Amino acid sequence: MQMKLFTSFEQIDNLPGSVIALGNFDGVHKGHQELIRRTVNSAIGTNLKSAVFTFSNHPKNLLAGKHVVKNILYWDEKVKILGDLGVDYVVMVPFDETIRDMEPEQFILDILVNKLHMKEAYCGFNYRFGREGAGTPETLMKVGLSEGFGIHILEPYMVRGQIVSSTIIRNYIANGDVDQCLGFMGHYYSLRGKVIMGNRFGRTLGFPTLNISIDEDMVSPADGVYVTYCNYNGIKYPSVTNVGVRPTVCNTCARNMETHIFNFNKEIYGKEIRVEFLERIRPEITFESVEELAVQIKKDCLTAANYHGIISR
C-alpha cells in the first residue's frame, strides 16, 4: 500500500482503526524515527493501519505570531522520510487557532478518536498538546483507560550520551557543527535553492561558484567555509561552500551560499541545487587584501578536495 497524505481534516473520511505516532516530527531525527518504527511494527502486529499525526507548521510560530522556529527539514523531504519508514497514513494539517484552543481531552476525542479512529498511540516522553500545552502523555493514558485505546511512551533517545532533539540539532547547525547532524538525523543537513548570478569573483581565481540565496525559513549554518556535496539533476558532486557576507570583497552583500563544485563546468543559472553540509573547515574571516583571500580560497579548496579524496585541479 502506498502512503496516503492528508493535509486537511476535510480529506479524511472513515479511516480504519489505526496506531498513531504523535508529535511535531519537525526534523524526523533518529528519536522520531524510532518512535515511528515502533508504531509501524505495532500496526502490523495488530492488523491495524499505521499513521502519523503532525502539523504542517510549527505550533510555536503561530503562538508567537512570527517565524521564531526555523526548519531543519523541507516539507516534501519530511513526507518522503515518513513514507520510507513504512507509514500507511500521514495526517499533516495546519496548527491553527481552533486546534490551539482545544482542551486536551477535546483534542483526543474529537481528532484522535472520532476522526482518526485511534486504537493505539505512540508518543515521546515530552509530548504536549491541547490548550496552553496542558495535555501530556499521562492525559492520554487517563483518557485511554476510559476510551479503550493503548498508549506507549518512548523514553529519551540517546546518541553519544545526549538526548536527541530538534533543538539540539538546530543549535549544532547554527554554531557550524554540521558534522554532528549525521549522527542525530541519519543524514546530512542540507539547504536548497535556485542558482543566481553572483559577482564571479571565484571565476577569476579559477574556482567558479554557484550562488544561492539563504532560505530564511531554514536554519542557516554559521558563517564559514564547509566541505559539502552539491546535488544537481539527481547527481551528487563533491564541493566546497562558503556561507556568509564575503566581507573582504563586499561591504553591503546579503548573506548567501557560494558553492564550488570540483571538476564541474555546466552553466546552471536558474536551476535548483541542494547543498549537503559535511563539516566546517573554518569560520568566515575578513582578510587584509583580495590577494590574501585568494590564497586562502585555494587552501580551502585543497582541504575540501582532500576530504573528498579527490585531486583538485
Domain enclosing residue 192, as ranges: 188-308
- The H or E element that residue 124 is part of is strand 118-124
- Distance, CA of 121 to CA of 137 (rounded, Å): 10
pLDDT of amino acid 23: 95
pLDDT at residue number 313:
47
Based on the fold, state whether residues 101 and 20 are members of the same structural domain. Answer: yes
Strand partners, 50: 19
CB 117 within 8 A of CB 17: yes
Domain boundary among 128, 162, 196: 162
pLDDT at 123: 97
Separation of alpha carbons 130 and 122, rounded Å: 17
- 91 and 12 within one domain: yes
Q: How far is CA 245 from the centre of its chain?
A: 24
* Span 164-172, average pLDDT: 96
Residue 24 shares a structural domain with residue 142: yes
* Position 289 pLDDT exceeds 90: no
What would the grid cell of residue 113 be? 478518536
The answer, yes or no, to whether residue 185 has pLDDT greater than 70, is yes
C-alpha 275/C-alpha 292 separation (Å) is 26
Q: Is residue 249 part of a domain?
A: yes
CATH number of the domain that residue 36 is part of: 3.40.50.620
Least confident span in 196-210, 240-254, 290-304: 196-210
Domains contained in the chain, number: 2
| Residue 126 shares a structural domain with residue 260 | no
Count of alpha carbons within 13 Å of 14, Cβ hemisphere only? 0
Alpha-carbon gap, residue 215 to 31, rounded angstroms: 26
Distance of CA 133 to the CA centre of its chain: 23
- Quick check: 188 pLDDT over 80? yes
* Same-domain status, 145 and 216: no
Residue 97 lies in a domain: yes
Rounded CA separation 195/38 (Å): 40
Nearest of 270, 271, 214 to residue 241 by alpha carbon: 214
Supply the pLDDT for residue 180: 96
Residues 140 and 237 in one domain: no
**Which single residue is written with the C-alpha cell 549537503?**
276
Q: Are 124 and 214 contained in the same domain?
A: no
Summarised one tens digit per residue, pLDDT across range 81-119 is: 999 999 999 999 999 999 999 999 999 999 999 999 999
**pLDDT attached to residue 262:** 93
Q: Is the pLDDT of residue 205 over 80?
A: no
Q: How far apart are CA 116 and CA 227, in angstroms?
A: 44
pLDDT at res. 273? 95
pLDDT value at position 248?
Answer: 67
Same domain (yes/no): 127, 236? no
Please report whether residue 169 resides in a domain.
no
> Taking Cα atoms as reference points, which of 43, 38, 78 lies closest to residue 57?
78
pLDDT on residue 202: 56
* Rounded distance between C-alpha atoms, residue 311 and residue 120, angstroms: 55
- The predicted pLDDT at position 58 comes to 86
Do 112 and 244 lie in one domain? The reply is no
More confident residue, 66 or 126: 126
Q: What percent of the chain has pLDDT over 90?
A: 75
Distance, first Cα to last Cα, the chain: 49
**Whole-number Å distance between alpha carbons of 44 and 261:** 45
Q: Does one domain contain both 127 and 204?
A: no
Query: Quick one: 193 and 143 in the same domain?
Result: no
The answer to whether the CB of 37 falls within 8 A of the CB of 81 is: no
Q: Give CA–CA dist 9/20, Å, rounded.
A: 15
C-alpha cell at 174: 547554527
Any idea what the CATH number is for the domain that residue 210 is in? Answer: 2.40.30.30
* 106 located within any domain: yes
The answer to the question of residue 168 being in a domain is no
**Residue 179 DSSP class:** G
- Domain boundary (124, 145, 162) is at 162
Q: Judge whether residue 288 has pLDDT over 90.
A: no
Instruction: Give Cα 46 to chain centroid, integer Å.
Output: 31
Q: Given 162, 196, 212, which residue is the final one in a domain?
A: 162
Average pLDDT taken over every residue of the chain = 91
> Pairing relation of β-strands 235-244 and 4-6?
unpaired
* Residues 84 and 200 grouped into a single domain: no
Model pLDDT for residues 238-275, shown as the tens digit of each residue: 999 999 987 666 665 778 899 999 988 888 989 999 99
Domain assignment of residue 87, yes or no: yes
- Reply yes or no on whether the pLDDT at 311 is more than 70: no
